Amino acid sequence: MARTVRDSKLGTRQGRLDSKHVKTGKRYFKAIQDGLALCYRRSSDGFGTWSVRIRQADGRYVLERLGSADDTASANGQTVLTFAQAQRKAQERLQAVERAGE
């Protein structure tokens, strides 16, 4: 498994909540590896969500929701994820797509 990528704006709960650069409704992408990026988007309710963007063989991208960010609730590793957990889940999703030949 690839190592965890760091990001000062997205990497911690406090970094996401305090950052003046993270605006409600806007998507922020952090490349994890070639063809794979993690997406953070803050809702109008004040918490964020994690999604994964995967580049397919034909060059198009697919965006899939992974879960909520741990902005207001404690992470449980399934539905509420830290930045590191979201990265691991994104990499697992990429491996599943590659195994299925999608």
27 lies in which domain range? 13-100
| Res 91: pLDDT | 94
**Is the residue at 25 inside a domain?**
yes
pLDDT confidence tier of residue 23, bands split at 50, 70 and 90: confident
Mean pLDDT, rounded, for 14-30? 80
Of 89, 87, 82, residue with least CA distance to 68: 82
Total of domains in the chain: 1
**Is the residue at 24 inside a domain?**
yes
With b meaning 16 or more CB within 10 Å and e meaning fewer, what string describes 25-47? Answer: eeebebebeebbbbbbbbeeeeb
What does the pLDDT look like over 27-86, one tens digit per residue? 999 999 999 999 999 888 878 999 999 998 888 999 999 999 998 899 999 999 999 999
